[in-house]
A and B are shown apart, each in its own frame.
Chain A
Amino acid sequence: AQSVTQPDIHITVSEGASLELRCNYSYGATPYLFWYVQSPGQGLQLLLKYFSGDTLVQGIKGFEAEFKRSQSSFNLRKPSVHWSDAAEYFCAVGGSGGYNKLIFGAGTRLAVHP
């Protein structure tokens, strides 16, 4: 069955510290992988996506993610966190053909201490 696991429900980091949010997926075909961010009362905003090619992808707001097929992982990273990064982060997987729906993880809530 297709699924996405985000092992960390809550993460707290200090401003300026590095960040890594974990994502593992289970998908039978070639996956398309996404990270979205959701601020309170806001819709989901796409941070970055992986379809093919270079396994290290760059996104907006200084985020990057690395696709590791052998580990079925797509972890999100940022070298220096800003207070404005506090939000909920969702990893999602979709299919490589047609419209396919996105399957989301349960999310990781990020808190940033000054």
Chain B
Amino acid sequence: GAGVSQSPRYKVAKRGQDVALRCDPISGHVSLFWYQQALGQGPEFLTYFQNEAQLDKSGLPSDRFFAERPEGSVSTLKIQRTQQEDSAVYLCASSLAGVNTEAFFGQGTRLTVV
């Protein structure tokens, strides 16, 4: 596709429910990033992939958060046993090769945990 595509755009989850957020990066982009953006805040880094390898997951807030990119293209961010503090917009970005090249962001998935 022409840009980074994220689905769903909106997700409402009951507390304790598992959710999966999908990111389709720009074709050919090696690097893929996930960020979490709480209301009124700037995006915060969650994790980074280079192709299928997850090179940095230091920003994942707990072991309930898990990300994968098994074939080096589409990525999924999974949150288990969601809690209210997980409510945020989850942004995916891709770039040709790391932050040195322009990162293109998707529109994000707004997750609301009730």
Known: A43-B4, A99-B50. A107 touches B99 (CB 8 A): no
Interface size class of B (residues with CB under 8 A): 20 to 34
Do residues B43 and A101 form an inter-chain contact, with CB atoms below 8 A? no
Do residues A42 and B43 form an inter-chain contact, with CB atoms below 8 A? no
Chain B 9-49, CB-CB to A under 8 Å as 1, else 0, gives 00000000000000000000001010100001111110010
Bound form: Cα–Cα A106–B37 in Å: 10
Nearest CB of B to A24, in Å: 14
Is A41 interfacial (CB 8 A cutoff)?
yes
Q: Which residue of A lies closest to B38 (CB)?
A: A106
Bound form: Cα–Cα A51–B14 in Å: 44
Do residues A43 and B99 form an inter-chain contact, with CB atoms below 8 A? no
Chain A 17-52, CB-CB to B under 8 Å as 1, else 0, gives 000000000000000100010000111111001010
User: For window 79-110 of chain A, which residues contact chain B by CB distance below 8 Å?
Assistant: 90, 92, 94-95, 98-107
Q: With a CB–CB cut-off of 8 A, which chain B residues contact A103?
A: 45
Q: With a CB–CB cut-off of 8 A, which chain A residues contact B107?
A: 41-43
Is B2 interfacial (CB 8 A cutoff)?
no
B positions within 8 Å CB-CB of A: 3-4, 31, 33, 35, 40-45, 48, 50, 55-56, 59, 91, 93, 97-100, 102-108
Do residues A46 and B41 form an inter-chain contact, with CB atoms below 8 A? no
Nearest CB of A to B62, in Å: 18
Do residues B41 and A32 form an inter-chain contact, with CB atoms below 8 A? no
Nearest CB of B to A97, in Å: 9
Known: A44-B91, A51-B100. A99 touches B48 (CB 8 A): yes
Residue from B31, B97, B99 within 8 A of A32 (CB atoms): B99
Do residues A44 and B43 form an inter-chain contact, with CB atoms below 8 A? yes
